[in-house]
Amino acid sequence: MNAPHESTCPPFALASRLPNVGTTIFTVMSALAAERGAVNLGQGFPDFDCDERIVEAVSRAMRDGHNQYPPMAGVLPLREAIARKIEAIHGRAYDPETEITVTAGATQALLTTILATVHPGDEVVVLEPTYDSYVPSIELAGGKPVFVSLEAPDYAIDFDKLARAITPRTRLVLINTPHNPTGRVWHAADMRRLEEIVRNTNVLILSDEVYEHMVYDGAPHESVARYPELARRSFVVSSFGKTFHVTGWKIGYVAAPAALMAEFRKVHQFNVFTVNTPMQMGLAAYLADPAPYLELPAFYQRKRDFFRAGLAGTRFKLLPCEGTYFQCVDYSAISDLPEAEFSKWLTTEIGVAAIPVSAFYHEPHESGVVRFCFAKREATLATALERLARL
């Protein structure tokens, strides 16, 4: 038997596909919050349980023997339920056989759409601040991100700038409404303007709508599915994890016209192939009652209003929050630290974790703004507000 010995071989030299990507700020801040016992309002997940009925529906599907591979596109009862939901809310009929695919969460749906549509050298227009998976996905496809910046405090879309960003090389425009991290939403006039911009082009739209059921103050969610000119060129992404408080289940879906969906499925089948069967069957049964998602705006608006009322008594300046479960605040009256340093200080010294909005830009970008997540129990929010009031 050979004695153990130290290898004299040099380490493998591997050229990174994502040389600019390190550990995400969400992982860093969550780890720091856990280490310091801070209230974690950084990473976007609820600290309360989901509806017991959905757990029972999944358990029943397991007991009923739905434990083997489902169809690649997802079980038909779930795709049919998704189609009914979209038509009821947005008035567009998607064919569950050819135009809806169940995915392993929204991030997989986003990556798969980009891999299916973007060729090396294609341009993808991205509005930033932007969710952190978008740009790496574009780069993995060999595409070139083209950035249109939204600026604090209102993060309004400059549609003239957006129009100028579109060139003959543009393959895809990536939009997100309601918007993470800013909490802003697209309105009907915004969708009409986007229609005008893309009307005589071959540009596709990837619409990230994972917070679709978190739009407040009586406003509707303006999905691209509502607008024929946009719908015919769009992939619409949503997330059951966000909607039903089960982020760890990693299950979502994509809706798109049949020709676009055919290309999506070519990549999907070799990406994840399909998504776990009992959760699909459980969700199909749970969706028979629309109340849980129809009541969600009011549910989260109560949390938003409670949190904003508490923050109003602090030195933070509240920025608009029309949707999502995120609240951005300007801390310039408290500190002149850069956003990442302020977030670490807030976690370590005050005991409340936040996310720097600068982390959502591709280059250094300081606005003195951080993001809190209010998808928490009222007691959790109250503890955080008590600590923030000391500032």
247, 269, 292 - which closes a domain: 292
State the Cα angle at 81 between 76 and 82, rounded to 5°.
100
Q: Are residues 148 and 137 in the same domain?
A: yes
Q: Are residues 31 and 145 in the same domain?
A: no
Cα–Cα dist 203/194, whole Å = 11
Both structure tokens of 212: 């679709």
Amino acid 9: pLDDT: 67
Q: How many domains does the chain have?
A: 2
Range of the domain at 217: 54-292
Q: Is 74 left (phi over 0), alpha (psi -120 to 50) or beta?
A: left
Q: Are residues 80 and 203 in the same domain?
A: yes
Amino acid 3: pLDDT: 54
Inside any domain, residue 379: yes
Cα–Cα dist 84/120, whole Å = 37
292, 311, 340 - which closes a domain: 292
Amino acid 5: pLDDT: 56
Amino acid 13: pLDDT: 79
Inside any domain, residue 177: yes
Q: Are residues 300 and 287 in the same domain?
A: no
277, 292, 307 - which closes a domain: 292
Q: Are residues 288 and 305 in the same domain?
A: no
Inside any domain, residue 225: yes
State the CATH number of the domain containing residue 63.
Answer: 3.40.640.10
Inside any domain, residue 7: no
Amino acid, res. 199: R
Cα–Cα dist 42/101, whole Å = 30
Q: Are residues 103 and 218 in the same domain?
A: yes
Inside any domain, residue 73: yes
Chunk the chain into consecutive blocks of 10 residues (it has 391) and report each block's average pLDDT, rounded to whole numbers. 58 86 84 94 94 98 98 98 98 98 98 98 98 96 98 95 98 98 98 97 98 98 98 98 97 98 98 97 98 98 98 97 98 97 96 96 95 98 97 94
Q: Are residues 154 and 171 in the same domain?
A: yes
Inside any domain, residue 178: yes
State the CATH number of the domain containing residue 355.
Answer: 3.90.1150.10
pTM for this prediction:
0.95
Inside any domain, residue 1: no
Cα–Cα dist 77/284, whole Å = 6
Inside any domain, residue 192: yes
